[in-house]
Amino acid sequence: KMDYVGSVTYVAQDRDWLKKLGMGVLMGLLSFVLVGGWALSGWSMEAFRRVAHGAEEKLPGWDDLGGYIGQGFKYFVVSLVWSLPMIVLVAIFGGAMAAAASSGRATGEAAMMGMSIVLWLLAMVYAFIVGFLSLGAFVILAQTGNLGQAINPINAWNVLSRDLGKWVLTALALVVIGAILSAIGSVLCGVGAFVAMPWLSATQGNLLGQTFVETGVEL
């Protein structure tokens, strides 16, 4: 049975949670140079594996920092490659809009405005699809470490389609939990955001691990 609340509260139940979370906060501070973000993703994958393999200690330490960075880098590559089509399209469209604006023609500007709205809607849909499929890629990387397998969206879909309803609920739960943690962080004058970041990473790994076990996915 899925324990959504437990995926959040288990962090504070670990005997060394302050030390582990503190290291996560440090990685969050380093996320502006990417390495910190990669480390948090890899740490989240270890949290996933601990649930998937039934480990007693669910919150991972930071002994394998280099391994976490490597795993997180692979996840970053998947996200970047999947986002490239939309990035290229936006860049091309941005150039076309700049050209239309410089021409000064009202009809051209109106047409470009309409197209920009359509593009924005497409970008939102595309981002939703990529975000959802990335859960499948996360599972593949956490379990196999195989970038070639994870980067294929069909493989990610095969992971999620086994029990689509459960994965959708997990995705929605992560969105809600992320919003709550972000709100708490903003109330604490922004300082809490650096605590919320690793906490959400730990929650994501745990919750995806629970869903993986519940759905019986085989890789």
Q: Where are the domains of the chain?
A: 6-215
Residue whose tokens read 């906060």: 25
Instruction: Per-residue pLDDT tens, the chain, 219 aa: give them.
Output: 899 999 999 999 999 999 999 999 999 999 888 899 999 999 999 999 999 999 999 999 999 999 999 999 999 999 999 999 988 888 887 777 777 666 666 666 677 777 788 888 998 999 999 999 999 999 999 999 999 999 999 999 999 999 999 999 999 999 999 999 888 877 766 667 788 999 999 999 999 999 999 999 888
Tell me, what amino acid is at 7? S
The confidence score (pLDDT) of residue 136 equals 98
8 A C-beta contact, residue 42 and residue 67: yes
Q: What is the Cα–Cα distance from 146 to 150, expressed in whole angstroms? A: 6
Residue 7 contacts by C-beta under 8 Å, 6 or more apart in sequence? 173, 177, 203, 206, 207, 210
Verdict on whether the full-model pTM lies above 0.85:
yes
CA-to-CA dists, residue 151 to 66, 79, 88, 118, angstroms:
21, 8, 19, 28
